[in-house]
Amino acid sequence: MSALPERSNPMSEAQRTLAARWTTVESMPIAAVYGPDDRTVAQVLGIGDASARRRCGFKGPGAAGWLQQQSVPVPAQPNRWVALPEGGLVARLGRTEFVVEDAEGSATCARLDAVPVTAGVYPVLRQDAQLVLVGSRAGELLLQTCSVDFAALDAAVRPVVLTMMVGVGVTIAVEAVAAARRYRIWCDATYAGYLWTTLVDVARDLGGGPIGTEVLDR
């Protein structure tokens, strides 16, 4: 079987001179390590790249029912997300639009893409970049870069917020991880390099910085 073609990383140019070591995840080059202090940085404020996760989207009045017919769980309310059994998540954007995101190694999107849609269901191409914020000062970065007070949100209900961050339209999923929080930030790939560079600059002012996937995925 031939290898899958390499997928371009929308943030690689901005990251290239910073990362100490690279790897390939889901056929996409990803920064594996930035430096020996990645783990320490992550505890304060780390910014990672999860763009390699494969995504697909569906919208329309029949989308929720069709996804359930394919054994895909859907959030009961708009602007929420639920976890997939094999890893990954399903986010509900408004009432009738859904984003499905695979975990590394899972193939829910490939399976869904192979199933013909029914009336009232419309596939949506999803080629988003994804940044991930972790660490004790992640909330401070969000306060400085967007107008939503994420500290006031209940992470237990798995909220999804559509907002602007340093002038870029983003979708942010709030994830409770033990006693901390993780923020998954999707944006149009066109603006990914700018958003990455800007957030890294802010993170460094707060004692954080970029982290590689070897730390982010643990």
Q: DSSP letter string over 156-216?
A: GG-BEEEEEETTEEEEEEEEEETTEEEEEEEE-GGGHHHHHHHHHHHHHHTT-EE--HHHH
Name the 3-class secondary structure at 33: strand
Dihedral angle sign, alpha carbons of residues 153, 155, 159, 163: positive
Note the pLDDT of residue 1: 41
Note the pLDDT of residue 217: 76
Note the pLDDT of residue 145: 97
Contact partners, residue 201, CB within 8 Å, separation at least 6: none
Q: How long a stretch of residues is the chain?
A: 218
Note the pLDDT of residue 4: 60
User: Could you tell me whether strands 160-165 and 88-93 are parallel, antiparallel, or unpaired per DSSP bridges?
Assistant: unpaired
Q: Which part of the chain has CATH 3.30.70? A: 55-124
pTM, entire model: 0.94
Q: Which part of the chain has CATH 3.30.1360.120? A: 35-51+128-216
CATH of 35-51+128-216, one of 3.30.1360.120, 3.40.50.1460, 3.40.50.970, 3.40.50.2300: 3.30.1360.120
**Which residue in the block uniquely carries the two structure tokens 């979708």?**
171
CATH of 55-124, one of 2.40.10, 3.30.70, 3.30.450, 3.30.420: 3.30.70
Alpha-carbon distance of 18 to 189, in angstroms, equals 19
Distances in Å between the alpha carbon of 143 and those of 15, 58, 150, 166, 199?
24, 31, 8, 11, 12
Query: pLDDT of the chain along its 218 residues, tens only?
Result: 445 678 999 999 999 989 999 999 999 999 999 999 999 999 999 999 999 999 999 999 999 999 999 999 999 999 999 999 988 999 999 999 999 999 998 999 999 999 999 999 999 999 999 999 999 999 999 999 999 999 999 999 999 999 999 999 999 999 998 778 999 999 999 999 999 999 999 999 999 999 999 998 77
